[in-house]
Chains A and B, each alone.
Chain A
Amino acid sequence: MRFFSRCYTYLQERRGWLVLLLLVLLLVSFWNLTRVDIEDNISSMLPDGDSRVARDFQLLQQAPFARKVVIHLRADNEEQAVLLNSATEELHERLPEPWFVNPISGPSRVNPQRLMSDLLEVLPLLFDAGDLEQLERRLDDEGISAALAENLSELLQPQGLFVKERISRDPLSLYLVALDKLQHLNPLPDVRIEGDHFSSSDGLSRLILADTPVAITDAAGAEQLLAAFEQARRVLPPDISAALISGHAYTLANADVIKTDMQVLLLVSGGGLLLLFVLMIGRLRAVPVLLLPFFSMITALLVVSLFADQVSGITIGFGAVVLGITIDFALHVYFALARRSLDRSEMLRLVARPVLFGGLTTLAAFSVLALSDLPGQRQLGLFAGAGIVAAVLLALLVLPHFIPRAAAVPGARLNGKRALMVRFPRLRYVVILLWIVLCGTSLVYLPQLSLSGELRQLGYLPDQLQQAEAELGRVWGDVRGRAMIFIGDNDMDRLLRQNEQVWQALGDRHLQEEAVSLAPLLMSERTSRERIARWQEFWQHHQPPTTERLRDIGAGYGFSARAFTPFADGLDRIPPPIDLRMLNEWGMGGLVDTLFQEHEDGYRMITLLPDRPEEITWLLQDGVLPEEATLVSQSLFADQLAQEIAADFYRFMGLAGVVVVVLLGVLFRRVTDVLLALLPALTGLLVLLGGMALLGLELNLFNLIASLLIIGLGVDYGIFMVCHGHSKEDLSSVRAVLVSGLSTLIGFGALTLAQHPALFSIGLTLLLGISAAMPTAILVIPALRRQLS
């Protein structure tokens, strides 16, 4: 550590160079700020790479409606419902480009007679073995008589003019089976059509779906999108409401609440920190201490921008918070040097050791973030690492030259390591007992701690938006929360076979009724051949008696002998294949597009199904789904992410722990000292985890990062207090730890006032952890140390 004291001596007469260095750093940083591209969205905090979570997250983005803007119109009552269609049309007309692209409020227009004619043509393909079994039971005298009576009734009604052809071609109403298959394309479970518009089953709601070029994570774009919607919404009558449901609304709400939070937090924490410094330091000459985190941060930003094309706004924001702790290094140097009677270079030599190792351990704790699956966390690791290195160097090489000598450090009585424990010998027993009780209580609650991978819980969820989404689900069924099975292949027929296997698996679990799939309509060549052969075989047996019954029983209703000749003639006709073109002609293009995607590598098909844990668990068993299928569900994803968080937590803690222990071993070379130095960090973590369990909170991604802060700060406190115990000189470590701990508590504790869950979560984590780590460092280490010695 003599290096730093020599540097101090060397630079003592060359302060001008240091000022120049700082100015250059400042200028370069400002220049850098003008060119750095700051990413104003949260995508960097979502997983990338090849992990399952990353892959599933990408696939979740392909879900129908995931990228759509959904507008839900609702009438207050049935009287107002008559205005819904016209209101929907007016709003549809007024949704402006470029914010809203291709808005649709109903299905494509279809020629019903053309559709019916085509469906009758392809009946042999649409009837599976089960359908034929059911049909067989309707081919007796009773079944045919009932069908013909219904036909007669229809023909006598005003609409009879238009159903004549269908009845002559299909007297047994086989078309109903075809319509049932078409239903499997419908992703809106409870939809009806009212005047060409999507209508809810209670008739009080309409739906408009639109694309938008605005990325869901783009807060500025989201603001403009929502402003455009607000403007368009003014056209609606007073009793008809319209809510826009999409990720954009959440993005904007989060951005707004973070802005508000920041204003409050800056006021509270800034005021609190100022008060603390006035009370505990009370000198203007301490201003350089306050500037150190600022210089650390601009250096960190400079380093990160050298390695990344884009710097995440979250990295900068959270990184700034992380680098706030670098003030601790400055405080230790300040308190050690700001004394009149001591040799400064010697004091710097003494304090350099704990500051350097404190910096190294904090650096180690944050460097593990480089292993994260989240690009934002990796960038944060780099940002924090660069900032910490800069802070340590600035604290030991630059800061000492800007700390004037003081007459005396105010409040020197707080340097009470020797005095307090000597003056009150029994205090150590009280301290140790309280510490044991605190750790014991935390240990009791620790097993109850659970992990949350629910990404939505990390964001701010305004009540109004949650209610709007809940209302959407209540009225239209679970539109946005379904599980999905993806299959992909570059060969269309192979893809269709896999899709059929998926459909079969769903059938085995009786899930077909609730599923949305192309499988009932689009089939492989093999299945087409099988169905045609089965149909022909069926009618070879049943056509003669059925034709005879239709003739005989039909005569009783007045039907002529030739009435159903078109039906009999069509039974052995080879149907045309059902393909995407045909589905488009039937007006199903929009629905098909949600379930079938063509891309560079081939094709992809999606099956939607209810996201129920028991069904998902069953489908995930080996052999249930084809190997090529990928099942993705929101609930499963949350579980996987929770597992990833847990794995990351253990991995990060383990790695950080090993590196920190090694560094402490190098520093102290005594097991007891290493253990004592670790005590604040371990106690802080234990109380953090136990406290969260006690408060019924779940561990999330942000707690994980905050836990690293606890390790970094806690080990720093431990190092300083253990070094303090070894030193013959008074390094004012108790005071420095107390001020730094209190500043951390004020700075981060203020985060508990935040409305945003992530900020609140970080604040609470640190409040719990530091509240335990700081007293452990100041009181428990001296108490135990004396006990051990």
Chain B
Amino acid sequence: MTKAMYRYSAFDKQFVNERVAQYRAQTERYLAGELTDDEFRHLRLRNGLYVQRLAPMLRVAVPYGTLSSTQLRALARIARDFDRGYGHLSTRQNVQYNWPELKEVPDILEVLASVEMHAIQTSGNCIRNVTTDEFAGVAADESFDPRACCELIRQWSTSHPEFDWLPRKFKIAVSSASDDRAAIDVHDIGLRVYRDAEGERRVDFRVGGGLGRTPVIAETIRSGLSMRHLLTYLEAIMRVYNRYGRRDNKYKARIKILVRAMTAEGFREKVDAEWELIRASASELTDAEINRVEAFFTPPSYPVLGADVLAAGESSLNAARLADPAFSRWVANSVVPHRQPGFAAVILSTKVTGTPPGDVTDVQMEAVAEWADRFGFGEIRISHQQNFVLPDVPVAALNELWREAVAQGLGEPNAGLLTNIICCPGGDYCSLANAKSIPVAEAIQQRFDDYDYVHDLGPIDLNISGCMNACGHHHVGNIGILGVDKKGEEFYQISIGGHAGHRHRSAAIGDIVGPSVSRAEVANVVGRILDIYVEHRTPEETFVDTVRRLGLEPFKERIYAAAR
């Protein structure tokens, strides 16, 4: 069965192999003392290698979150052979290893290259892995599969001669669905891609969104550009940013600061003037190239199921749900509508109490790969919520999959709910962190372990970051928790009302509810916030709707009145 995935050309293969050789030579020169720490730092970062608190951390690119079962098995092998038997799903749809040996990284890259993968530009001040909707290609609400657009950007941005040494890291996200699951409003560039009434593929460009120290919602600077102009318009944006973005202060170096300083209108004028001079260049995409890349993402040939088969599948699903409330709960939040009748997409939650959010063992990776082959077409996704997604599961197989997922610790019925916490590695691993984040996630999961209560609360995104850099996306958590350092002690600042822009709500940055609290207090404060929500909500409201309607005051009063 042909997967709906990009496959490397001979050119891609050669390029990635050359990149491995280049990085191997850089590592050897560093180990031989021929490269300074600072010089090697910039070089290794462009290949995903951080030096962390305890060991190096290698971030592997999973382009736009799509993996084949073969690739996932290779990731499992790397976890076993080069790490401590596990890996970590990141909030940018990548996979990270926490314990590789610096000198073995070139060997890991070789394993990756053998399955058409790499770690190129997964860190450093360059264009990072492009992210998208984890349900791309199967979502019922999508205009077209955005992954071809992502792949075109991946190729264009790989070792770009001019844009590999930017003022700061640069993140691009693409969405083609009516519900934005890619958080395009909080990226350096967010692209909305769609077909217009005539069927022409078009792109809206948003720029200057981002989290970190200065959270900002992106502004649209160009709407309705033909897909042919995708790369030239990106080039114009990047050139303006590369030349004028601040380089004197890394906290003011992201494009959002430049856009704010120039105003969105001023930035747009500059970009448009630049683009007019390059729009007709050889970098203008051809229809042949767009079609070539798009052809890789042709949907698999789903079996056409008759009405009687579909009805039988539905009724057996309903019977199984009635017979088993635990299964029913899982179906309610982990099974996602599919564009193909008789199929569903399934979220496999990594958020099990006692395991750091996003961590998965080699055994779990192998199991997911096997399910992808057995139930689907050998394809897996990683979501920015740090879960696996199986994009193609027959409805009739859901119960069987669920039983096996539960046995593997991947059947937690909490997708979209309070305990499906987005969480960075935090102070346990990361040298940038001000505070630990994993124990906070665990304390919250332990406190809210009543499934019925958590389900009754409805959709809530609780996001935790161990520092300002906001890898845990705390600003756009409906409840956001940020680790801060106060005179050497770990404290946590709590915000509410943030939103990443999915579930058909506008993206928003959360508001801080008051003074930061100790680690022991965090779960109590969350509990009080939820009490207020439960008291005040109307039947059709989600948590964030209630917060938006009530404003901050009722929460502030109660949280801190009780804490006194």
* A and B associate: no
